[in-house]
Chain A
Amino acid sequence: MNLTVRIWRQAGPATEGRLVSYPVAGLSPDMSFLELLDVLNQELIAAGEEPVAFDHDCREGICGSCGVVINGQAHGPERTTSCQLHLRSFADGDVIDVEPWRAKGFPVIKDLVVDRSALDRIVQAGGYVSAPTGSAPDAHATPIPKPDADLAFDNATCIGCGACVAACPNGSATLFTAAKVTHLSLLPQGQPERAQRVLDMVDAMDAEGFGGCTNTGECVASCPKGIPFASISALNREFRKASRSGRR
């Protein structure tokens, strides 16, 4: 199949970017979207031009490295990661726009590569259980009801790709933060730091320049791992409860 991709090219954070159109021919519908970019890059290199910079690594949909806005949607038309999107999702002859994640919290580094380290700083603010190595009791000492463990797992599946931020009209990182807060607040191990965790993580999220949440739901629609909308309500509940308790 043949496609035309219009790709955001930007040499660096301080330079202006623009969409550049590239026709790519002889593609297979079994190729992943990133393999399309591979093919294009080989052609660009052969032509003496600079290849398109994009983040990617495992190409199995789990590392969360990849992520581009495809035709206005984070990770494109299917609910998956960009590496697991295949060209069979497009029609022969399509023109496809490819842009980086856009959000105040994610400055562009080059082309489609953005800086997502703000998400790490949100986790550093409290997204953990303080359990120094070697101090753990036997794993069976604390049974956890299966429904709780399953729901915690559903939230723990977040891969930190940042699609939720890119999809949000406010550039909010609420779904990301909600997933972590919900995961840990459901488990007995997460209880002692529960109130402090949510207050610190929400503070960090605001300090990084992410916007507020207005329950638009675009984040949930674009999340490749299906983090539920209910997690945002859970985050809000946790936050209100912790604020009232005055725990700091």
Chain B
Amino acid sequence: MPDFVTGDPIADTKAPAAPLENRWDERKFAAKLVNPANRRKHRVLVVGTGLAGGSAGATLAEQGYHVVQFCVQDSPRRAHSVAAQGGINAAKNYRNDGDSVYRLFHDTVKSGDFRSRESNVYRLAQVSAQIIDQAVAQGVPFAREYGGLLDTRSFGGVQVQRTFYARGQTGQQLLIGAYQALSRQVDAGNVELHPRTEMLDLVVVDGRARGIVARDLVTGEITTHLADAVVLATGGYGNVFYLSTNAKGSNATAIWRAHKRGAYFANPCFTQIHPTCIPRSGEHQSKLTLMSESLRNDGRIWVPKQPGDPRPPSDIPEDERDYYLERQYPSFGNLVPRDIASRAAKNVCDAGFGVGPGGLGVYLDFADAIARLGRPAIEARYGNLFDMYQRITAEDPYAVPMRIYPAIHYTMGGLWVDYDLQSTIPGLFVIGEANFSDHGANRLGASALMQGLADGYFVLPATLNDYLGGTRLGEVPADAVTPVETEARERIARLLAVRGTRSVDSFHRELGLLMWDHCGMSRTREGLRKALDRVPELRAEFWRDVRIPGRGDELNQELEKANRVADFLELAELLLVDALAREESCGGHFREEHQTPDGEARRDDENFAYVAAWEYGTPPVLHREQLTFEHVHPTQRSYT
């Protein structure tokens, strides 16, 4: 059987054929409205309460829709957006340093290695300024200057200071802003909240998304919730790699089950590896911890010039250090984009220059910055990150350089959506990291928060009106619901009935290692093949031999994990097929067969300037969406 078959091309038909800067306005004007008095008659399900889901739920409820909101955590405030540290981009140009909507758009398309849609990215840059206004109005305590105005800092891949931040806890503060807005609507009775509840399946009736099947994680009760539209805001699937910076509960179940019901999955192989994580310390490791990218503003990255140099860093004189990013990329230096910084770290470690246990680490050194600015200034900027590093490693980063290494962080792939953020299933909208649309093959730092909030506060609330206003929806017949619910029950029962010998974690760890080795920072045809042989075997072993203690009608965390790992075992295969089919290197997807003589990624715009939108099937069906670049002309990305 072939790895995949090719289907008809796919296209986004919702972005108006207007000049770039007018497209969003024109789309909003053309979109149908729903009379405020009629809005309360519409039920909308929102799955997930992170930046995208929380902001969407709050805004839709403010508009008058009846929102039913779900999250797997015990409180919406704990969604994984809470862990984003560094900041959020916005084209405010408060610094008067030459920033503009167009420049943010330009930087994002370029950083995404020309694999994102110009229309979507331009809109993202446009609404970015409004996001900051909205968050400030909610009381989000952004960092401020002594004059009382907002402070900004710079981030990787750009040469202006457009990143707004709240110490090292920007994600938490923005999420709490959205959570508070959502809480206000819960109190007003406009949002019905279901925490500790997991989506198991999507109910599709007459080709339209009409509800979800969900499991109460405390009682195990499986119920169906019906609505006029379903919004998935369930984040990324980086935990397919087991070790990642994602929260332990981050999973792909909602988007994967929707994919199996007909939603196309786009660019699954685009995974972002973050360059500044704390290296792993041993086999016991359950997850990896990210140090904010903002550290690269003042920290200098280096390795000893002598491979395996046994001396402590302070004993290595300046001329025996290789500040390899500053050497290779003089104009961006330590602030090159994430994919470049990550691969550079891997390359120096692979060449034997790495530091720390196993040689899998590079130094991130603040000695110069402390000498120049003084320790109090560094404490004010990064204090909590330094404390966190010290707590985890038991080393004092004020005295010795930090050690960092790249780790799986963010997934640019996700369910395919059009300009309206609607998937290939009408009535199913996908927002935030769960969709694929704005970041291309690599995400610019501080843009994930921006996209989540842009989608939730501003984009979806405008486009969902068009769907609800332009669609006549009948009652959902009971016989359409029963089979989906039965299937969900049977799957849970089947998992519990295996009663095998291996724990869920042992399968997950094996899958993760396989994916990291063969589909991680660099990929080869041979390695991908090897993984493609192993994943189906592992999946079969899982269903034959997994051991899940306990019952289904109670809080059963092993059952929750098993349910999700079963999906990762399927998604992993599509990820590998996608990586194999993309015979080029771009962004986070680096195929060793496709590189320039000096080891940089070599794109193939002639053959691969498309979004790979996969339809579920055996084998999967590839639908190509051709990307056109009218404004930012594809060139070899250069940061030298």
Question: B595 contacts which chain A residues (CB < 8 A)?
Answer: none
B183 touches A120 (CB 8 A): yes
Contact with A along B114-157 (1 / 0, CB 8 A): 00000000000000001011111111111111111110000000
Residues of B within 8 A of A28 (CB): 281-282, 284
Q: Mark contacts of A47-62 with chain B using CB atoms, 8 A cut-off: 1 yes-contact digit, 0 otherwise.
A: 0111101011111111
Out of A57, A59, A183, name the residue touching B139 (CB < 8 Å). A183
* Interface members, chain A 170-229 (any B CB < 8 Å): 183-184, 187, 189-190
Residues from chain A with a CB closer than 8 A to the CB of B289 are 59-60
B172 at the interface (CB under 8 A from A): yes
Number of interface residues of B (CB under 8 A): 79
Within 8 A of B (CB), among A52-102: 53, 55-65, 78, 80, 84, 86, 88
B181 within 8 A of A: yes
- Give the docked Cα–Cα distance between A132 and B458 (Å): 12
Q: Does A6 contact B (CB under 8 A)?
A: no
Kindly provide the distance from the CB of A43 to the nearest chain B CB, expressed in whole angstroms. 10
In the assembled complex, the CB of B442 is this many whole angstroms from the nearest CB of chain A, namely: 23
Report B242 CB to chain A, min CB distance, Å: 12
A38 partner residues in chain B, CB cutoff 8 A: 284, 286, 505
A233 within 8 A of B: no
B476 interface residue per 8 A CB criterion: no
B287→A86 contact, CB < 8 A: no
B570 nearest CB across to chain A (Å)? 23
Q: Does A129 contact B (CB under 8 A)?
A: yes
**Contacts A28-B281, A190-B139 given; 7 further ones with Cβ under 8 A?**
A48-B549, A58-B83, A62-B83, A65-B78, A109-B555, A116-B74, A127-B180
* B503, A143: Cβ atoms closer than 8 Å: no
Bound together, the chains give a CA A30 to CA B289 distance in angstroms of: 14
Q: Name A115-147 residues within 8 Å CB distance of B.
A: 115-117, 119-120, 123-140, 142-146
Specify the chain B residue showing the minimal Cβ separation from A123: B183
Partner of B184, one of A27, A84, A130, A189: A130
Which of B74, B76, B173, B286 is most buried by chain A, counting CB atoms within 10 A of its CB? B74
Whether A157 sits at the interface, judged by CB under 8 Å, is yes
Stretch with Cβ within 8 A of A (4 or more), from B55-63, B99-107, B485-493, B600-608: B55-63
Q: Is there an interface contact between B184 and A124, defined as CB atoms closer than 8 Å?
A: yes
Whether a CB of chain B sits under 8 angstroms from the CB of A23 is: no
Q: Which residues of A contact B139 (CB under 8 A)?
A: 128-129, 131, 152, 183-184, 187, 189-190
Smallest beta-carbon distance A61→chain B, Å: 7
Chain B neighbourhood of A138, CB < 8 A: 133
Chain B CB within 10 Å — which of A51, A62, A140 has the most?
A62
Contacting B247 at CB < 8 Å: which of A32, A59, A86? A59
Set A32, A42, A88, A144: member contacting B148, Cβ < 8 A? A144
Select one of B80, B94, B142, B458 contacting A57, CB under 8 A.
Answer: B80
Interface residues of chain B, those whose CB is within 8 Å of chain A, are 55, 58-59, 62, 73-78, 80, 82-83, 92, 94, 130, 132-150, 166-167, 169, 172-173, 176, 179-181, 183-184, 186-187, 193, 195, 218, 247-249, 281-282, 284-287, 289-290, 388, 391-392, 394, 457-458, 461, 503, 505-506, 547, 549-550, 554-555, 557-558
**Docked-complex contact B180 and A123, CB < 8 angstroms:** yes
Q: Could you tell me the distance in whole angstroms from the C-beta of A129 to the nearest C-beta in chain B?
A: 5
Interface of A is mostly: loop
Contacts of B136 in A (CB 8 A): 136, 139, 142, 189
Q: For residue A117, which residues in chain B have a CB less than 8 angstroms away from its CB?
A: 74-75, 195
* A5 contacts partner chain B, Cβ-Cβ < 8 Å: no
Contact in complex: A137, B133 (CB < 8 Å): yes
Verify A131–B281 contact, CB threshold 8 A: no
Closest 7 pairs between A and B when the two form their complex, measured CB to CB: A143-B148, A128-B180, A136-B137, A136-B133, A131-B137, A153-B141, A139-B136
Q: Are B142 and A149 in contact (CB under 8 A)?
A: yes
Instruction: Give the residue name and chain of the B residue nearest to A122 (CB).
Output: B183
Closest CB in chain B relative to A45 CB, distance in Å = 5
Give the one of A59, A125, A152 with max B CB within 10 A: A59
Contacts of B83 in A (CB 8 A): 58, 60, 62-63
Residues of A within 8 A of B137 (CB): 129, 131, 135-137, 189
A127 CB, min distance to chain B CBs, angstroms: 6
Give the CA-CA distance A152 to B176 in the complex, in Å: 13
10 pairs of residues in contact across A and B, judged by CB atoms under 8 Å: A45-B558, A80-B391, A86-B391, A86-B392, A125-B187, A126-B187, A132-B59, A136-B137, A143-B149, A153-B173
| A125 vs B133: C-alpha distance when bound (angstroms) | 24
Report the bound CA distance from A143 to B150 in whole Å: 8
Bound: A78/B390 CA distance, A: 13
In the complex, the answer to whether A145 meets B282 with C-beta atoms within 8 Å is no
Contact of A45 among B134, B461, B549 (CB under 8 A): B549
Check A58 against B555 for contact (C-beta < 8 Å): no
Select B183's contact among A12, A61, A128, beta carbons within 8 Å.
A128
Closest chain-B Cβ to A195's Cβ sits at a distance in Å of 16
A48 to B141, CA, bound (A): 49
Report Cα–Cα, A63/B75, bound state, in Å.
10
Question: Are A136's CB and B134's CB within 8 A?
Answer: yes
Residues of B contacting A143 in the complex (Cβ-Cβ under 8 angstroms): 144, 147-149
Whether the Cβ atoms of A51 and B132 lie closer than 8 Å is: no
Q: Which residue of A51, A60, A153, A184 is within 8 Å of B388 (Cβ)?
A: A60
On chain A, the residues within 8 Å of B186 by CB distance are: 120, 124
Q: Which residues of A contact B166 (CB under 8 A)?
A: 153, 156
Q: Which residue of B lies closest to A133 (CB)?
A: B59
Asked if A120 and B77 make an inter-chain contact with CB atoms under 8 angstroms apart, the answer reads yes
Please, which residues of chain A bring their CB within 8 A of the CB of B392? 84, 86
In the complex, what distance in Å separates the CA atom of A144 from the CA atom of B147?
A: 8
> Which of B139, B180, B284, B287 has most A Cβ within 10 Å?
B139
Docked CA distance A55–B290 (Å):
21
**Pick from B143, B145, B505: contact of A42, CB under 8 Å:** B505
Does any Cβ of B come within 8 Å of A113's Cβ? yes
In angstroms, Cα B149 to Cα A146, docked, is: 8
Contact B247 A57 (CB under 8 A): yes
B25 CB to closest chain A CB (Å) equals 14
- A80 CB contacts on chain B under 8 angstroms: 391
Q: How far is the CA of A214 from the CA of B178 in the complex (A)?
A: 33
Cα distance A61–B82 in the bound complex, in angstroms: 10
Distance between A242 CB and nearest chain B CB, rounded to angstroms: 18
A234 within 8 A of B: no
Docked Cα-Cα span, A12 to B550, in Å, equals: 13
